[in-house]
Structure 1
Amino acid sequence: MIKAIASPINENSQVETIQNLQSALLLLLRPLEDQQNNLEGLLDDQREGRYGGITKEVVAVFQSRSELTVTGYVDQPTADALNRLLQELTAIEESSRWSIQGQITDTLQRGLPEYLVLVSEYDLDAITQIAESRSNADGRFEFTFVYSERLRDQDRPTAPDLIFSLFDPNGAETKISAIFLIDNQQESNVPRLADSNEAPIVLMNASQNLKIRISVALSQRPITEFEDLIARLTPFMGQM
């Protein structure tokens, strides 16, 4: 299996890193009829363990078609674009893939729809956004992301430390009251980093397949469908 692509990659990169990139490029190249002439040259580069002219050309073609800055070398935007495609093809080895299934609820465990959820890698010196999702009608959301070398830099050799941010349907940031890990339908509260309601909630060394519930304390309880119906009918009741 192919490892997640990490930047930068150029002629000075390690042979293993270059050959892993070439494996990814070969996988993406084979279905493209207009790139068949580059297949043999790319295979030659891979056998020799070099970042040769064909490798540079293929990377440049990928950058051009992905509307990225064309350099022929792998920078961070190029690595991210390659990883997204590889993830769609499930070509990245399992040890690099993380998945999160979750639900956003109020304190009564009612699902909250249309909330934007951001998941980020938490470090003392920086927070790096990884992915975003939006909750469905039941408040449920899902993430699948590649834990790349870029994200591993601060945590190596541990698993990622994850922090979440929420934004309501109007775009306002919403404070998270609690996060619960779900295992065999049992919930356990994730502690804050300090004994304060303002301290962040971080999932330290998060496992690869997570199920969580994020609880939000709304300042005003959202009305039910029945209450909404009554409110709509009230102006007409006196006319009956």
Structure 2
Amino acid sequence: MISPEDIISLLKQNGMIGMPYTDDPKKTASILARFAGYLVEENEKYNLTAITAPEDILLKHFADSLTAAYFIPQGGSVLDVGSGAGFPAVPLAAARSDASIMALDSSEKKTSFITASAELFGIGNLHAINARAEDVFRSSERGGREFRERFDMVVSRAVASIRILAELCSPFVRIGGVFLAMKGPNAMAEITEAENAITTTGLHLEKALPVTLVYNDLTALRTLVVYRKVSPCPATYPRRYPQIMKNPL
């Protein structure tokens, strides 16, 4: 069982008390403690995540997710591509009530879980869409124009390689906005491999930040790869997923 006090301790240990990480740490802790219990409960029915031990939820789900909050502008709009059971979308929405957070995932059971969580815990700035990223621009009545280059930040955590993610995510990022790839400690090979995809989709590598997450005697190493959107992504992207995988940029 995870308590609000556990989450406050986690926030303190990782320097996440206050903005830009949390606008109301006590409220954030209360929401995330209840969400953690609900996650474990629903996971028994729906197999939402492999991470269920309390200390792992705290470190690998909550602390990891909240590192992305640093890059959200005040009142910003965020899209989480491949959100899974709601990471980083749910912690970000719970921590940053000023921001509008949208979770995108192809699994209906996972987007339904995110929607139910938002309703249960009063996370009014969180919404979920059940779709594949590359299909959003084809399935929408307006051809996805309401999504193209709309978001201040698009984030993706361990969904695919950066080379693939660039094509999936860049079309959603507004000019001047950020694409944040949340990676493990050995991200440099992916960064190098993705150079052509990054240039082709209108992005520019700004920085790769190594991060050490801590919770008591546990640690986890991460890399936050920050790309800036500097020019429009060509309308031909994203292609259909089989094409992306067969001939990556």
Identify whether the pair has TM-score above 0.5, normalized to the shorter chain: no
Q: How does the TM-score come out when normalised to structure 2? A: 0.27
Q: How does the TM-score come out when normalised to structure 1? A: 0.27
